[in-house]
Structure 1
């Protein structure tokens, strides 16, 4: 039934809970398990610093810390942070792969972008039959304010998505 299963992970406890289910399904169906980490480029701060004129204040698009130090133009303080996020992703994927064992075929990837979009792109590009994801189980205002990668994937994926709620 399933030949290719995608396990997107962020290294959280919720993802760890979902890994067991992903591995069980891969074993049961003899499927390849794809372990994916998305380095979130939305978390990288990019903005414009406006020029100072006699009566025109600098742009309000960046924090106070940039106003005295940066010339006019584009500020991307996340360039170094993106590299660190990719490095962290490689560690997370490595830890997940170590936990899987040798009896499951595994493919790994670390990509950058908007997490839910890249998860959906990866699923399409690799012919994934099932996505297995963890969820933190937030409800109400927390879920609304924080958003949920898992929820966006569930709502927009073309394949089944198995969600595993993190237990305390």
Structure 2
């Protein structure tokens, strides 16, 4: 049913739970796990020009570390893995990459009702609303108060 499982990652501590689900899902289906980190160049563009290159380099290093962590966890679970780092708006790049996979496993933070209203633009929400493949959403923290 699933041959290719996509797990977008930003490398934050909270992604461990999402990664656990993604590795298990891929392993259960003998699927390849695809780790994707997106460097949001919009953040660098908001900086003074003299700091942009350094900021982009830093964001690329973080993205590489994030996908390397996924690769290590996948290999520990004997799950084949492919890694990728892309530049752009995170939700758009995830959706672009998802054209070639069967399911997306993505994490989201628990939010209060007010925070949900204020943060309608979250990456996870955009992916859920626009993906053409199933999306498995993992709550990466339990604080919904």
TM-score range, shorter chain: 0.7 to 0.9
Q: How has the CA–CA distance of structure 1 residues 78 and 138 changed in structure 2, closer, same or farther, with 3 Å as cutoff?
A: farther
* Displaced runs of 4 or more, over 4 A: none
Instruction: Give the structure with the larger helix fraction.
Output: 2
Structure 2 equivalent of residue 107 of structure 1: 82
Provide the rounded CA distance (Å) in 1 between the counterparts of 2:141 and 2:54: 34
Q: Cα deviation per residue 1:89-139 (whole Å; 9 max; x = unaligned)?
A: 111111221122251110001111100000001111xx2000001111123
- Tell me whether 1:92 sits opposite 2:56 in the alignment: no
Contact between 2:11 and 2:62, CA under 8 Å: does it hold in 1? no
Q: TM-score, length-normalised on structure 2?
A: 0.87
Q: Tell which structure's C-alpha radius of gyration is larger.
A: 1
Judge conservation of contact 1:46–1:76 (CA < 8 Å) in 2.
no
Q: Does 1:14 align with 2:39?
A: no
Structure 2: tracts of 5 or more residues without a match = none
**Structure 1 gap segments, 5+ residues each:** 48-65, 67-74
Measure the CA separation in 2 of the matches of 1:86 and 1:95.
Answer: 14
What is the TM-score normalised by the length of structure 1?
Answer: 0.76
1:13 partner SS = coil
Preserved contact between residue 8 and residue 133 of structure 1 (Cα < 8 Å): yes
Retained in 2: the 8 A contact 1:45–1:77? no
Distance 2:132 2:101 in 1: 10
* Residue 31 in structure 1 maps to residue 31 in structure 2: yes
- Give me the CA root mean square deviation: 1.8
Q: 1:150 aligns with which of 124, 135, 145?
A: 124
The answer on whether the counterparts of 1:13 and 1:166 sit within 8 Å (CA) in structure 2 is no
Q: How far off is 1:76 after superposition?
A: 6.6
Paired residues of 1:130 and 1:160 also in contact (CA < 8 A)? yes
Contact 2:44–2:52 (CA<8 Å) still a contact in 1? Answer: yes
Q: Residue by residue, what CA displacement relative to the aligned partner does 1:56-101 show, whole Å, maximum 9, x if unpaired?
A: xxxxxxxxxx7xxxxxxxx474232011101111111112211222
Shift of 1:10: 0.8
Q: Does 1:122 align with 2:97?
A: yes
